[in-house]
Amino acid sequence: MRRPTVRRSGVRPLDFLRESAAELSGQPVRSLLTLVGIAIGVSSVVVSVLLVTTVRFQVSDQFDARLATQVVVAPSGSDSAPGPEPESAEAPWRQDGVDRVRAIPSVTAVASTVRSQFDQVVRPNALVDPTAIPETTAVFGVDPLAVPELDGDLRGPGWSAWHAAHAERVAIVPERAAAAHGLQGVEVGDRIFISGLDFTVVGTVGPVPRLPVLETGILVPDTTLIRHFAADATTRRLLVVTQPGAAPDVAEVLAPALLPTDPAALAVSRPVSDVTLRQAVDQNLTNLGLVLGLVVAVIGSFAVANTSLASVMRRYGEFGLRRALGASPFHIGVHVLTDATLLGFGGGMIGAVAGEAIMLGVAANRHWQPVIDVRIPLLAIAVATLVGALAGAYPARVASRIEPTEALRR
């Protein structure tokens, strides 16, 4: 008996794509809803990852501008350096030492600060209400150039070296402290009372980005603080601002320059290692992006799988017909897989473009420098396509196992 010689039937790969395109366009509402679902998921990932990248850039930028250019000197025995407590409230360094530090080429600003030993009662006038519980606030002794050098927006003349040398009762009132202690509306030339002593306001100041703690108290000359309120020597600091990247080198020479006779009496530190902190932030943000991506990928795959499975059920009769026309179970599986993959690809494309647009919109709104990394949307499209294909695998298996005779009866 002659064995059959059967030519293998087949479908050109392009025809699988054509059939899927025809099927998806033939059910526009269903396809659109699925595409939108996938696109929302993909755009969420793209926005998250791109925003994370952009925000990371912003954060890094701020670290570079602030923390990475900051070195702090404290006397040994202060609350940030080991050793016996300082004997004197005076700064252990002298003005010529500070001048030498200022002369270091990569140093851009130097500011000395010290806090009062006890918080003081501050009032806008001399009247004392015996029934009221007095409000107290910190008083900081700072050098004449400290506020502008700490990037503070000083409004008013401030005090000069003469005021400092004579321990004059002049004060700069930060807006934040004014709001907290009933000094709103205080202007240059007004008088305020600190523990009963009158002080002339020589300036007001908004945020002090490099040393925000100064915003919480009243600022007076270093010498005035020591004379009238007693300084807490353990809080004395010399904040040195450097050019970007120079902080480690400046830190090396700071103590000998400031106090050549006894550099060991000073503790030099950087508030934070910018590299370590940036790495930590980078890692956290990257992990956040990855987790978001994973969550959306899982949700997206269920959406595609659900749509594909529903499509298989709806197209039961069609698959029976295709089998009658010569499709093998493999061909049916590939049809379903192609549909799901196309949905993933289409949703990925729409989502990637939408995600880019949203991210650019947010960045423009927040005045951020957007970080455009084309690899992210491309990767999102690739992942969405892969997720579509994986999600279509089970429905494809179900469809390929449909009995043609049973399907044709439906």
**Binding residues among 311-340 for other proteins as defined by CB under 8 A:** 317-318, 320-331
Nearer to other proteins, 285 or 407 (CB): 407
Which range of residues in 22-30, 95-103, 137-145, 244-252 is near other proteins by CB under 8 A? 22-30
Among left, alpha and beta (phi > 0; psi -120 to 50; other), residue 86 is beta
Nearer to other proteins, 22 or 127 (CB): 22
Tell the smallest beta-carbon distance from residue 14 to other proteins (Å). 8
Is residue 22 at the binding interface for other proteins, with CB under 8 A as the rule? yes
Which range of residues in 100-108, 175-183, 232-240, 400-408 is near other proteins by CB under 8 A? 400-408
Tell the smallest beta-carbon distance from residue 329 to other proteins (Å). 6
**268, two tokens:** 């030099």
Tell the smallest beta-carbon distance from residue 313 to other proteins (Å). 16
Is residue 15 at the binding interface for other proteins, with CB under 8 A as the rule? yes
Q: How far does the chain reach from its first CA to its final CA, in angstroms?
A: 38
Which residue type, as a one-letter code, is found at position 3?
R
Beta strands in 299-341 (DSSP E): none
Task: Report in angstroms the alpha-carbon separations of 265 from 28, 75, 250, 256.
Answer: 78, 6, 17, 10
Is residue 13 at the binding interface for other proteins, with CB under 8 A as the rule? no
Q: How many residues belong to the chain? A: 410
Q: Which residue has the tokens 């407590």?
A: 85
Tell the smallest beta-carbon distance from residue 331 to other proteins (Å). 7
Nearer to other proteins, 294 or 324 (CB): 324
Is residue 9 at the binding interface for other proteins, with CB under 8 A as the rule? yes
Contact yes or no for 120/232 (Cβ under 8 A): no
Is residue 19 at the binding interface for other proteins, with CB under 8 A as the rule? yes
Beta bridge partners of 112: 238
Is residue 209 at the binding interface for other proteins, with CB under 8 A as the rule? no
Is residue 29 at the binding interface for other proteins, with CB under 8 A as the rule? no
Tell the smallest beta-carbon distance from residue 33 to other proteins (Å). 17
Q: Which of 27, 76, 108, 136 binds other proteins (CB under 8 A)?
A: 27
Q: Hey, is 199 helix, strand or coil?
A: strand
Nearer to other proteins, 10 or 196 (CB): 10
Q: Hey, is 321 helix, strand or coil?
A: helix
Q: Which residue has the tokens 């509306």?
A: 185
Which range of residues in 6-14, 79-87, 160-168, 237-245 is near other proteins by CB under 8 A? 6-14
Task: Report in angstroms the alpha-carbon separations of 251 from 62, 143, 159, 257, 298.
Answer: 20, 21, 29, 10, 50
Tell the smallest beta-carbon distance from residue 308 to other proteins (Å). 18
Which residue type, as a one-letter code, is found at position 48?
S
Which range of residues in 5-13, 91-99, 206-214, 221-229 is near other proteins by CB under 8 A? 5-13
Closest CA to 384 of 299, 310, 287: 299
Q: Hey, is 90 helix, strand or coil?
A: coil
DSSP letter, residue 214: G
What x-and-dash track marks residues 136-155 binding other proteins by CB under 8 A?
--------------------
Q: Hey, is 309 helix, strand or coil?
A: helix
Is residue 103 at the binding interface for other proteins, with CB under 8 A as the rule? no
Tell the smallest beta-carbon distance from residue 23 to other proteins (Å). 9
Q: Which residues contact 188 (CB under 8 A, 6 or more apart)?
A: 155, 156, 157, 201, 202, 203, 204
* Per rule CB under 8 A, count of chain residues that contact other proteins: 38
DSSP letter, residue 144: T
Nearer to other proteins, 29 or 132 (CB): 29
Q: Which of 148, 207, 256, 404 binds other proteins (CB under 8 A)?
A: 404
Which range of residues in 25-33, 169-177, 198-206, 236-244 is near other proteins by CB under 8 A? 25-33
Is residue 1 at the binding interface for other proteins, with CB under 8 A as the rule? yes
Nearer to other proteins, 92 or 333 (CB): 333
Contact yes or no for 280/65 (Cβ under 8 A): no
Q: How many CA atoms lie within 13 A of 72 on its CB side?
A: 22
Binding site for other proteins (CB under 8 A): 1-12, 14-15, 18-19, 22, 25-27, 317-318, 320-331, 403-405, 408
